[in-house]
Amino acid sequence: MSNIFTTNGAERILSDKAFLVSETDEKGIIVFANDDFCSIADYRVEELIGKPHNIVRHPDMPRAAFKDLWDTVKTGKTWTGFVKNKTSSGNQYYWVYATVYPIMREGRRHYISCRRKPTADEIESAIALYKTL
């Protein structure tokens, strides 16, 4: 059992200390992922590298949320928000509070995403908001 999350039915709940980090290129292809991300999403790092980041996107997430994310980071700003992700099997999911920021890696724009645990109230609010999108 991982020490960075607990399981409640189909939901994986991040621990307070969990810190998920990943980096993508300008097209959203994963170039690196840390242990916590691999652990909660049930992937090995080599399975994630080279794949689009939406490999963990849960179908419940509205497209508008990601449009807002991309529109924000492409202008060089930080995007923060709540995201529902799925695990590799697709049978489980986990919510994160994501902070995404564009960086320069060897002259090319990359994006780094850091995720932490959202509260139960924040998840409820996000679910309600996303239903309206």
Residue 130 binds to another protein (criterion: CB under 8 A): no
Looking from the CA of 122 toward its CB, the CA atoms found within 13 Å total 13
**Which x/- pattern, by CB under 8 A, does the window 68-107 give for another protein?**
--------x-x-x-x--------------x-x-x-xxx--
Contact 81, 68 (CB under 8 A): yes
Distant-in-sequence, close-in-space partners of 88: CB < 8 Å, separation ≥ 6 = 41, 42, 43, 47
Nearest Cα to 85, choosing from 3, 31, 18?
Answer: 18
**Which x/- pattern, by CB under 8 A, does the window 20-59 give for another protein?**
-x-x--------x-xx------------------------
Residue 1 binds to another protein (criterion: CB under 8 A): no
User: Counting beta carbons within 10 angstroms of the beta carbon of residue 68, is it exposed (0 to 12), middle (13 to 18) or buried (19 or more)?
Assistant: middle
Of the candidates 121, 128, 131, 132, which one interacts with another protein according to CB under 8 A?
Answer: 121
Cα(59)–Cα(38) distance, integer angstroms = 20
Q: With CB under 8 A, what is the number of residues at the site for another protein?
A: 24
What is the contact surface with another protein in residues (CB under 8 A)?
Answer: 19, 21, 23, 32, 34-35, 76, 78, 80, 82, 97, 99, 101, 103-105, 112-114, 116, 118-119, 121-122
